[in-house]
Amino acid sequence: MNREVHVRFWESQGVRFPLATHLDQGNRRELILSFIDIQKADFPINVLCRVLAVSRSAYYRWCAKRSCYEGIHRARESLKEKLLEAFRANRRIYGAPRLTHELRAMGVGISRATVSRLMAELSITGACGRAKTITTRPDRHARKSSDLVQRNFSVDETDKLWVSDLTYIGTREGWLYLVCNMDACSRRILGYSMSDSMDTQMFIDCLDKARSTRGKVLMSDTIFHSDHGSQYTSNEFREMLRLSQFSQSMGSVGDSYDNAMAEALLRVIEEGARISNSLRHQRGGKNRDLRLDSMVQPEEKTFKSW
């Protein structure tokens, strides 16, 4: 029996017994323990260990360690599947911080560092922000409105606070400017408008759409918060706010935190547009905003990942 064990072992390594001096000593122990695990159905474990000069305790420790590693591997593969599911469900936009939040919302206890490592193993990355570009160009001669929000965007009722901001999106036909109005309580996009240029009429149209969404003409209890862009301080837009009985509020110049809620919304839209790589618009056309409907759906939705 001893000779048969030896013969099987060396033949499993592709070498005729007893020539095995070429075997790497560093891998010898692992090979022997693997061989014992395979042959234990034909020979008693104590015989295999005695013939191959390995203690039974070493073999059982190796088995326990392997079972532990296999469990870790299965858990890691399960995490990868859930991570890919969350990544694809969010249009391949989210990076490690937002995916960590999404997985925790699914009941998965995981750290941001682990999510980053798994994303590297899966060769996936979130949408990267573009270089900072100044789109807020204040009118130095315009009258400034006070900041009625003071970075407190937590409201308990709808139509108490609306936030608005402007961004630009690269398309196959050139730059497209987008302005959105959002309710701070429900996070609903009440209205949006697009144009090839940053004209004041685009902002007025956006406000009209938002009022139509609410079915109201007068908004006497609503604060309209924005940055100091020249369109928001223009006489035409301010007259529109006055007639609608809005209370206008503006953050400080050059500080994105004063309008953080609107900035976060537009960043999600920008990332989605860059990822799609197929955004088109027809210059001068009436339906040029249809391709953005999937990104700015006017639905009641709370974006927890912001």
Minimal CA–CA distance to 1: which of 38, 59, 51, 54?
A: 51
> What are the distances in angstroms from CA 196 to CA 177, 202, 260, 289?
6, 10, 25, 11
| Cα–Cα distance for residue pair 285/269, rounded to 1 Å | 21
> What are the distances in angstroms from CA 173 to CA 218, 233, 235, 282, 302?
38, 30, 31, 8, 32
* This prediction's pTM: 0.55
- The predicted model gives 4-32 an average pLDDT of 56
Q: Using 50, 70 and 90 to split pLDDT, how confident is the model at 223?
A: very high
Q: State which amino acid sits at residue 79.
A: L
Q: Which of 58-67, 90-99, 134-143, 253-262 has the lowest mean pLDDT?
A: 134-143
Three-state SS sequence of the chain = CHHHHHHHHHHHCCCCCCCCCCCCHHHHHHHHHHHHHHHCCCCCHHHHHHHCCCCHHHHHHHHHHHHHHHHHHHHHHHHHHHHHHHHHHCCCCCCHHHHHHHHHHCCCCCCHHHHHHHHHHHCCCCCCCCCCCCCCCCCCCCCCCCCCCCCCCCCCCCCCEEEEEEEEEEECCEEEEEEEEEECCCCCEEEEEEECCCCHHHHHHHHHHHHHHHCCCCCCCCEEEECCCCCCCCHHHHHHHHHCCCEEEECCCCCHHHHHHHHHHHHHHHHHHHHHCCCCCCCCCCCCCHHHCCCCCCCCCCCCCC
Boundaries of every domain in the chain: 2-54, 59-122, 161-292
Fold classification of 161-292 (topology level): Nucleotidyltransferase; domain 5 (3.30.420)
Average pLDDT, the chain: 77
- By the 10 Å C-beta count (0-12 exposed, 13-18 middle, 19+ buried), 6 is classed as middle
For residue 295, what pLDDT is reported?
44
Instruction: Note the pLDDT tens digit of each residue in 237-284.
Output: 999 999 999 999 988 877 778 888 888 888 777 766 655 544 444 444
For residue 209, what pLDDT is reported?
92
Q: Which of 17-31, 45-59, 249-263 has the lowest mean pLDDT?
A: 17-31
Judged against a pLDDT cut of 50, whether residue 59 lies above it is answered with yes
Q: Output the six-digit token pair for 280.
A: 């088109």
Minimal CA–CA distance to 252: which of 168, 177, 155, 148?
A: 148
Judged against a pLDDT cut of 50, whether residue 168 lies above it is answered with yes
Q: Output the six-digit token pair for 295.
A: 């990104």
Residue with more model confidence, 273 or 234: 234
CB 198 within 8 A of CB 134: no
For residue 11, what pLDDT is reported?
56
Q: Which of 62-66, 250-254, 292-296 has the lowest mean pLDDT?
A: 292-296
Q: Which of 42-51, 141-150, 203-212, 295-304 has the highest average model confidence (pLDDT)?
A: 203-212
Judged against a pLDDT cut of 60, whether residue 115 lies above it is answered with yes
Residue with more model confidence, 254 or 231: 231
For residue 296, what pLDDT is reported?
44
- The predicted model gives 133-142 an average pLDDT of 56
